[in-house]
Amino acid sequence: MAHGGSCTAVGAITLKNVSKEHVLAGGGRLSVLESISFEVADHSFTSILGPSGCGKSTILNLIAGLDKHSSGEIKIDGARVGLVFQQPRLLNWRTVADNVVLPLEGQLSDKAALRVIAQTYRTLVGLAGHEDYFPLQLSGGMQQRVAIARALAIDPDVLLMDEPFSGLDEITARKLRQELLRIWQDTGKTILFVTHSIAESVFLSQQVLIVSEKPARIFKSTKIDLPYPRQYGDIRLFEIETKLTNEFLQL
């Protein structure tokens, strides 16, 4: 088994026959992931789509190195991985600027450099002028923008996003999806995005990986060959959503 570091794989992320089991209190084993294999191309936008509780977040945690797989191989082309959670997880006693540079404080002592980095990524996510705000003074959507800026501040090769918009109202979520696509195109990052929303996955992605119920496996991989920018209400998006919905019902 391998994890992290550079690799010879074609894609930015490669999983080969990855399985994950939990050992239960009575000595039994619970299979969470079963022989998961897929590849995510460099600079691409891929979504992992599946029902709640199917193991999507487990896949992300394994790639991020927050958990260990039981068997198989995980390779990442690049040393740095940024992670955006479902909840922003900001420190309420720190300003927006200080939250953004939090991951860098142990690596970079130059305060002027930290200010420049904070300003760069605040501007990128549309929060210029909010550097002195505290999280509780911001809306949920603005808090999630701070979380995205914080993940980008380390200049990651891969950005992992675990249902970051699921707790937001639909209008705010729609705005942030469009903003995320702009950020992706501006930065060229590789994004792996977890969601249980078919519409969200189709709107955002170049590739959608459909995951089955536990023990999770890749049920199907679908390419979304529509150009960007994409528009809500596009009949072509709706047709793909309908097709994926029918396939989803076969799980």
For the segment 63-101, what is each residue's pLDDT rounded down to a tens digit? Answer: 999 999 999 999 998 768 999 998 999 999 999 999 999
Tokens 């404080």: give the residue. Answer: 105
Question: How many whole angstroms separate alpha carbon 245 and alpha carbon 82?
Answer: 30
The secondary structure of residue 216, as a DSSP letter, is B
Residue 108 maps to a domain:
yes
Residue 199 maps to a domain:
no
Backbone angles phi, psi at 14, to 5 degrees: -135, 125
Confidence (pTM)? 0.90
Residue 13 maps to a domain:
no
Q: How many domains does the chain have?
A: 1
Question: How many whole angstroms separate alpha carbon 35 and alpha carbon 15?
Answer: 9
Low-confidence ranges of the chain (pLDDT < 70): 1-11, 79, 251
Residue 116 maps to a domain:
yes
Name the token pair of 4.
Answer: 């992290």
Residue 113 maps to a domain:
yes
Which pLDDT belongs to residue 117?
87
Residue 75 maps to a domain:
no
Does residue 207 contact residue 223 with C-beta atoms inside 8 Å?
A: yes
For residue 142, the one-letter residue type is M
Which pLDDT belongs to residue 29?
85
